[in-house]
Amino acid sequence: MAHLFKINNVDAATYGLMFLQGTYKELLKLAKRKPGVETNWNDENGTERDDEQTVFESRILNIPVLLKGNDTADYIAKLQAFKELIETAGYFNFKAYGINRQYTLLYSDVSNWQDYGSIASFNLVLIDDYPATITPID
């Protein structure tokens, strides 16, 4: 899956990134619906809900990633380049060609970091503040 993803129009492989099994599942998962206007009448069963406007919570995505260098020096260079990109980008464009979708995402965190010398595996925690937007890749 390495060449099927771009970050700000740069192939993810440039940063040594490979997106692992579970990436598409995270990208395609549904967002939680925000509660709308509700009225709980004392003299009626249940709750009356206004369903005319549907809005959603932001999605928290846990994307499984492998970052690999050809050797230790290459690994450090790719890790540093990725770190500079992701920590300073603000919102960034993420293209997933395998599902013909692009997303506007925001970096939040990294979890489950495992470093093996010239390889690291981790979950890239991203925020999708536009969960109802479906944008095909141009």
| CATH number of the structural domain spanning residue 25 | 2.40.30.200
Has residue 50 been placed in a domain? no
Residue 101 pLDDT: 97
pLDDT band per the 50, 70, 90 thresholds, residue 2: very low
Burial 31-48 (b: 16+ CB within 10 A, else e): eeeeeeeeeeeeeeeeee
Residue 79 has pLDDT above 80, yes or no: yes
Has residue 105 been placed in a domain? yes
pLDDT digits (tens, 9 = 90+) for 10-28: 999 999 999 999 999 999 9
Range of the domain at 81: 2-29+58-128
Residue 36 has pLDDT above 80, yes or no: no
> What is the pTM (predicted TM-score) of this model?
0.88
**Looking at the 3D structure of the chain, how many domains does it have?**
1
